[in-house]
A and B are shown apart, each in its own frame.
Chain A
């Protein structure tokens, strides 16, 4: 019965299509946790991947070494020039740090937005199709990694952890078009200007910093660091340097293009930072809608 057989195939195809759409829409939802089969697959592939990543990292390491060897003479000259300067800066920094500690002690201020516990991790894979900028690290929840921790290199901020399995974790890079991905940042000018890093310009390959108060002056070449006010990233992590300043779409606030200081193309070793003081809610946290700026105790007292 060829007719019946054809129908059966058609039904199978239709059921398959429905199943496919259901699967895609299920996985497209904003999921906070991976399901168990996903975790198992992720961990298994992750372990195999980290085995392959070792020799691969070694080989790229050799190429980088050769590259830096070729520039040694120029670099040495430059470094020597800065060495004298460095000694003076170091003593000053040490003195300032001591003074800062003493002042903090005086104020009885123990928590700081700057403090974080570092976890070293190695990049084992990068999403090969490169549509979503994502990297995978070899440390997971069994090493103490949690969602929303900041990820950085020695040069600057890279991204944040979006998904954790026992032995791997996924990082969403700053280079993303996700409109919910914002980093509270400040410009280290004469007067600190606060703004938000929101999205990036694909043509210029630079980050966009928006919502800077238009009364403040922001100049090209000034450094941008994380402000620690977003509740996730520690304070003072370098993000980049301003390359161009303009006004935003409505002309109410300023907007700046920021060239990131971290090198995103070759990421090997990164540091996951667990901030000592965290206070997050909303879509990044537990979404309890709790009023964080007015703690409930204070409200109660007022009521009484």
Chain B
């Protein structure tokens, strides 16, 4: 049961992202803030940290391709960035402690890096013309806050689910 739960949660998060994206942008006192839901990559980072780096990279590649084809129409953007982020997360965690607070911070920092790289790419190909300061204020900061909130609410559940799978696998092996 737990075996199938991990990919199905990933699929669910993938499908929920655009639904949450419909709530954005929000307008507060005449200022526009974009909240970009990055639930899936946060979940994949958690898989990479607590379960298996290789598995996470594979999921990252699969969902990256889906993301590229369905939403972006530029193939090769998310399908590279998602596995790369998962790989980075899995590599970083070998050096440091796996406490939930630490992993949450790493995940948020990685999402910020992802967001920044995407901004640079879209700026390069003229999809967007907003200057860097505007990007930091109206996109990066609100996105980080929203995703941190999301992780604070559901991070422990991810960890719980992944740990259950790890235990199950350990039992199967022994």
Residues in A lying within 8 Å of B, measured CB to CB: 20, 23-24, 26-28, 31, 37-38, 41-42, 45-46, 48-49, 52-53, 56, 60, 123-132, 134, 136, 163, 170, 177, 202-203, 205, 265-267
B110 within 8 A of A: no
Q: How far is the CA of A127 from the CA of B77 in the complex (A)?
A: 14
Whether B24 lies near A127 (C-beta < 8 A) is no
When A129-B118, A177-B127 are in contact, do A28 and B72 touch as well, CB less than 8 Å?
no
- Min CB gap B70→A, angstroms: 5
Interface mask (B10-22 → A, CB under 8 Å = 1, otherwise 0): 0110011111111
- Min CB gap B93→A, angstroms: 22
Please pick, from A28, A170, A205, the residue contacting B32 in the complex, using a CB distance under 8 A: A205
When A127-B72, A267-B22 are in contact, do A52 and B15 touch as well, CB less than 8 Å?
yes
Query: Chain B residues with Cβ under 8 A from A127's Cβ?
Result: 18, 21, 71-72
Whether A134 lies near B129 (C-beta < 8 A) is no
Whether A129 lies near B36 (C-beta < 8 A) is yes
Query: Chain B residues with Cβ under 8 A from A45's Cβ?
Result: 66, 69-70
- How many B residues face the partner with a CB closer than 8 A? 42
| Residue in B16, B37, B70, B118 whose Cβ sees the most chain A Cβ within 10 Å | B70
Query: Chain A residues with Cβ under 8 A from B71's Cβ?
Result: 125, 127-129, 134, 136
Query: Chain B residues with Cβ under 8 A from A123's Cβ?
Result: 22
Whether B19 lies near A125 (C-beta < 8 A) is yes
Q: How far is the CA of A45 from the CA of B86 in the complex (A)?
A: 23
* Known contacts A28-B74, A49-B18, A203-B134; 16 further A-B pairs (Cβ under 8 A): A27-B76, A38-B69, A41-B69, A41-B70, A60-B23, A125-B71, A126-B21, A127-B72, A129-B118, A130-B34, A132-B72, A134-B71, A136-B70, A202-B130, A265-B24, A265-B26
Query: Chain B residues with Cβ under 8 A from A27's Cβ?
Result: 68, 73-76
Whether B66 lies near A41 (C-beta < 8 A) is yes
B125 within 8 A of A: yes
Query: Chain B residues with Cβ under 8 A from A26's Cβ?
Result: 75
- Min CB gap A143→B, angstroms: 19
Query: Chain B residues with Cβ under 8 A from A37's Cβ?
Result: 69
Query: Chain A residues with Cβ under 8 A from B26's Cβ?
Result: 265
Whether A128 lies near B37 (C-beta < 8 A) is yes
Whether B72 lies near A56 (C-beta < 8 A) is no
B122 within 8 A of A: yes
Whether A126 lies near B25 (C-beta < 8 A) is no
Q: How far is the CA of A52 from the CA of B127 in the complex (A)?
A: 29
- Min CB gap B82→A, angstroms: 12
Q: List 25 A-B contacts (CB under 8 A).
A: A20-B80, A24-B75, A24-B77, A27-B75, A28-B74, A31-B73, A41-B70, A60-B22, A123-B22, A125-B21, A128-B18, A128-B37, A129-B21, A129-B36, A129-B118, A131-B127, A132-B72, A134-B71, A163-B73, A202-B129, A202-B134, A205-B32, A265-B24, A265-B25, A267-B22
B128 within 8 A of A: yes
- Min CB gap A71→B, angstroms: 18
The residue of chain A having its C-beta at the shortest distance from the C-beta of B115 within the complex is: A129
Q: How far is the CA of A202 from the CA of B34 in the complex (A)?
A: 12
Whether B76 lies near A131 (C-beta < 8 A) is no
The residue of chain A having its C-beta at the shortest distance from the C-beta of B73 within the complex is: A27
Query: Chain B residues with Cβ under 8 A from A130's Cβ?
Result: 21, 24-25, 34, 36
- Min CB gap A285→B, angstroms: 21
B172 within 8 A of A: no
